[in-house]
Amino acid sequence: MTTTRINFLLFTIAAVGAGWAGVALDRAGGEAAANEVAFSTSDGTLGQLLFILGPAVAGLLLYFLSRDGAGPLGLTLRFAHRTRWFGFAALFYPLAAAVLLGLGLVAGAATLSGDAAAFLTAFLTVFAVQLIKNPIEEFTFRGYGTRTAMALGLRGAATPHLLVGAVWAAWHLPLYLVWTSEADMRLVTSLSMPLFLVLLFAGLMAAALLYGEMRVRTGSIWPGVLMHSMSNAIVTPLLVEGYVSFPGHGDVLFSPVASSVLMTVLTAATGLFLISRRPRRAAVPPTLAATAT
């Protein structure tokens, strides 16, 4: 087994296991399980800190201690067409959310309420928090994960992204199965947990196509950080503060969350379009090495 394959395997174990190790740590310390961490409204626990930081630390250690030649970590801000990529990252989720909610309103499957100024304040508050968390998460799964998966020599341009997406989705499991209460889950989905998790995996793997391809095309994690932060800053106030509601199971199709059917289709289609338009020179890992330091 090559060094790159061993590194990706160890990274996967660390990413999937960090959250469950965090759950065990919290339980050993007598911490309450469900505490609204999914919505960034709690101070968090040591277990949740391990959940966030553990995979990133593992990626750093593997990068420095087990060299695999897969390229840099994507921390650069020096890449071609920065304005275009950051503009795309900033606008994608606002436009996507507007389209989905518009369709939901037309179909009678969604209702909107509340004050626009109050929503803007809530958006900015959540956005600021996400700019602390998401550089860590994007470094983990696009900075280290994508650069390593791209070097595995897998067939199909989308396959490395889907592989990282599966690991990313599995990383989320403790968040929803342990750290999110039943009442808070009802803000996220009207489905049972098993059905929600199926859609979650599909949605995050679709999102990984988009985030991962931006990483490949720019050599940088930062457009993904902005896009991820915009997504969370829009979705969290809309759902948690009750600006949007979905009678019945309207959320399954029209919610702006990653796990809704239409958002999954939209992100997957956009990611696959970018992959199909990838310049030939960007199709192999050495390009990652050439575009970032």
pLDDT tens digits for 54-82? Answer: 999 999 999 999 999 999 999 999 999 99
Measured distance between the N- and C-terminal CA atoms of the chain, rounded to whole angstroms: 27
Per-residue model confidence (pLDDT) at position 201:
98
Q: Model confidence over 87-140: pLDDT tens digits?
A: 999 999 999 999 999 999 999 999 999 899 999 999 999 999 999 999 999 999
**Whole-angstrom distance, CA of residue 263 vs CA of residue 257:** 7
Cβ neighbors of 106 (< 8 A, separation 6 or more) are none
Per-residue model confidence (pLDDT) at position 236:
93
User: With the C-alpha atoms ordered 44, 46, 49, 55, is the resulting torsion angle positive or negative?
Assistant: negative
- Exposed, middle or buried: residue 281 (CB in 10 Å: 0-12, 13-18, 19+)? exposed
Of 93, 90, 92, 112, nearest to 101 by C-alpha is: 112
**Whole-angstrom distance, CA of residue 84 vs CA of residue 81:** 5
Asked whether the beta carbons of 276 and 215 are under 8 A apart, the reply is no
Per-residue model confidence (pLDDT) at position 43:
67
Per-chain mean pLDDT for the chain = 92
Per-residue model confidence (pLDDT) at position 288:
57
Q: Which residue type does 111 have?
A: T
Instruction: Give yes or no for residue 3 having a pLDDT over 80.
Output: yes
Per-residue model confidence (pLDDT) at position 286:
42
* pLDDT confidence bin for 227, thresholds 50/70/90: very high
Per-residue model confidence (pLDDT) at position 78:
94
Average pLDDT over residues 221-230: 98
Kindly report whether the global pTM for this prediction surpasses the value 0.85.
yes
Instruction: Give yes or no for residue 293 having a pLDDT over 70.
Output: no
Percent of the chain with pLDDT over 70: 92
Per-residue model confidence (pLDDT) at position 44:
81
Per-residue model confidence (pLDDT) at position 289:
42
Higher-pLDDT residue of 292 and 257 is 257
* pLDDT confidence bin for 36, thresholds 50/70/90: low
Q: Model confidence over 277-290: pLDDT tens digits?
A: 998 654 444 445 43
Least confident of 29-33, 165-169, 196-200, 235-239: 29-33
Per-residue model confidence (pLDDT) at position 152:
96
Average pLDDT over residues 265-275: 98
Per-residue model confidence (pLDDT) at position 223:
98
Asked whether the beta carbons of 164 and 212 are under 8 A apart, the reply is yes
**Cα Rg of the chain (Å, integer):** 19
